[in-house]
Structure 1
Amino acid sequence: MNIHISKEAQKWFQYEMMMKKGDHVRFFVRYGGSSPIQDGFSLGVSKDEPIEAVVTQEIEGIIFYIEERDLWYFDGHDLHVDYSDKADGPTYDYSKNEQ
């Protein structure tokens, strides 16, 4: 499982969440909402320090991560985070990990 963050998405997080070098962005499971990979659950995002990060991606000193307890949600999929001009925010897509 991997996290892929586009440069545009990274810039959005940096600006909108006031992120600086050394900060952490957590992707986590939320009850409710919709997702193409888990019925009744959706992806949440927060500025948190990791406890048991199992997947990380560092871009310009900002660490994007997923905790061990949230790994089940991804069901063997990689997370792709991009930026949408239309939505003026991040978009999330999932692709089956071939590993």
Structure 2
Amino acid sequence: MKLNITNQAAKWYKEELNIGDQSFLRFFVRYGFGGRIPGFSLGISNDTPEDIYASCNAEGVTFYIENKDAWYFDDQDLSITLDEQVKEPQFSYN
């Protein structure tokens, strides 16, 4: 599994969450709507990594997913871009 995030999306997260370089942002599975699997969606938190499944660095921030959330991705890659029309991140799984 690969995790990719564009610089524009990374900048959005830095501004929205008011974080600087050398930060860690974790994507985690939570109950919710609009995700890849009905009844689940992705949340994000500023955490310290414990057991990284996938990660990437953009704009000085390490974005990552823990091994305990690997089941949600089912070996699919996650790409995060910035939707210019709504000015929010957009998730795509391939």
In the other structure, the counterpart of 2:52 is: 53
Question: 1:1-99 maps to which residues of 2 (within 5 A)?
Answer: 1-35=1-35, 37-95=36-94
CA RMSD of aligned residues (A): 1.2
What secondary structure sits across from 2:77 in the alignment?
Answer: strand
Structure 1: state its 5+ residue gaps: none
8 A Cα contact 2:6 2:58, kept in partner: no
Deviations 1:14-36 (A, max 9, x none): 1111121110111110112132x
Alignment size in residue pairs: 94
1:9 positional shift: 0.3
Sequence identity (%): 38
Structure 2: state its 5+ residue gaps: none
TM-score scaled by length of structure 2: 0.91
Q: Distance in 1 between matches of 2:7 and 2:32?
A: 29
TM-score scaled by length of structure 1: 0.87
What secondary structure sits across from 2:49 in the alignment?
Answer: coil
